[in-house]
Amino acid sequence: MGIWKYIRNRILMFLAGLAIILLTSFFAIYRLPGDPARMILGPRASAESIAQFRHESGLDEPVLKQFGAFCERIARLDLGDSLVYRRPVLALLSERAGQTIRLIGYAFLVLVAFAIFIPLGLRAVGLGVVDNAFRVIWGGLSAAPPYVLALLTLTVFAGFFRVLPAVFERSYFSCWLAAAVVLATYPTALASRLFEDALTIAMASDYAIRARAQGFGEAGILLREALVNAIPAPVSAIANGLAYFFTGTFFVEVAFGVGGIGSLTYEAIRNKDITVLAGICLLFAIVISSLSAMLDLAQHLVNPRMRRSREWQG
């Protein structure tokens, strides 16, 4: 499959995904059991005000027309108002997104550092033992789900050693670091294991033996020969890790008390704030599908084997 055809197909997929999300959010808000007008105005609203509201917000129009209007509003970036906070959903989202982006950004740095750079550095200077110890620790921690890890971290570092404030404090870097490490644990364990496996295979391969016979040192072989061949495995695990962050942040934010999108989701679920939930769904869908489209394209370009034979399975 040629690269242009691949890009075209990928964009079509992206659009199809978006269409489904739009449809689902639309039906989640307007077509579910229960009258949205009743839900928005509250149980004590009079029949007249409900009729007026239905007319004003176009709820008495045919479904297709309503869907058209819904899509148009979305295109104008108008996601409606929160049923609980009585404020535009978009404003709420952009207010909260910063913290989530910051958390995921730090977690990504932790992931890349501990999955690739630190193992590589340790192995290059002959400290493979330390690297192994790190991997065992990550593996052990990754058995616990993020919310248990969060509790553990808070108990140990905030309760016992008192090096961490018990309540999440935005200006403390240590709080961010703790949350980011917890969020990054599972993908880090996975990616570092895959990298180690790939490196071990590469270091035992024919070209490594040849390089060794030519008198290159182990560190040189590692960095010049093995790295290039071993890197695709952890890179795709890191890509999956990014997708994991978007679900993981939901639990980590609530457990630590980070006020990002994850906490907003939690509040919206608790308050049955459907417009906010639909907005979050839409936001996540756009972010995740654009990310996965970009990652697919990047892998396509980076890995020569994928350029020719790549089907749709990773």
Partner 1 sequence: MSGKVRFVHGIALAWLGLMVILAGAAAWLPLPNPIELDLRAVAVPPSLAHLAGTDELGRDVLSRLLHAGGSTLAIVAGATGLSLAIALVLGTMSGFVGGWVDAAVRIAVDVLWSVPFVIFVVLIVGVAGVSKTSLILTIGALNWVGPARVIRGEAARLRDMDFIVAARAHGYSQTAIVAWELLPNLRRSILTLAAYGAIEVLTLETGLAFLGLSLPAPAPTWGGMLADGLGYFSTAWWIVIAASAVITATLGSLQVGARYLEKAG
- H-only helix segments in 146-273: 146-153, 173-203, 206-213, 218-221, 227-230, 232-256, 261-271
The string of DSSP codes covering 84-111 is TT-SBHHHHHHHHHHHHHHHHHHHHHHH
Q: What are 88's strand-pairing partners?
A: 81
Would you give the DSSP letter of residue 81? B
Q: Which stretch binds partner 1 (CB under 8 A): 14-22, 71-79, 95-103, 126-134?
A: 14-22
Cβ closer to partner 1: 173 or 312?
312
> How far is Cα 305 from Cα 314, in angstroms, rounded to an integer?
12
Question: Minimum CB separation from partner 1 for residue 39, in Å?
Answer: 12
The CA-to-CA distance between both ends of the chain, in Å, stands at 16
- Are 84 and 273 within 8 A, CB to CB? yes
Considering only residues 21-40, where is the footprint of partner 1 by CB under 8 A?
21, 24, 28, 32-33
Tokens standing for residue 106:
């730090």
Q: Which stretch binds partner 1 (CB under 8 A): 75-83, 91-99, 209-217, 287-295?
A: 287-295
Work out whether 101 is an interface residue with partner 1 (CB under 8 A).
Answer: no
Work out whether 292 is an interface residue with partner 1 (CB under 8 A).
Answer: yes
Considering only residues 128-187, where is the footprint of partner 1 by CB under 8 A?
142-148, 151-152, 155, 159
Considering only residues 208-267, where is the footprint of partner 1 by CB under 8 A?
246-247, 250-251, 254-255, 265-266
C-alpha distances (whole Å) from 45 to each of 48, 52, 186 are 8, 11, 49
Q: Residue 88: what are its φ and ψ, rounded to 5°?
A: -60, 135
Q: Residue 81: what are its φ and ψ, rounded to 5°?
A: -105, 150
Q: Which stretch binds partner 1 (CB under 8 A): 38-46, 160-168, 218-226, 275-283?
A: 275-283
Cβ closer to partner 1: 151 or 223?
151
Cβ closer to partner 1: 206 or 311?
311
Positions touching partner 1 (CB under 8 A) are: 13-14, 16-17, 20-21, 24, 28, 32-33, 142-148, 151-152, 155, 159, 246-247, 250-251, 254-255, 265-266, 269-270, 272, 277, 280-281, 284-285, 288-289, 292, 311-314
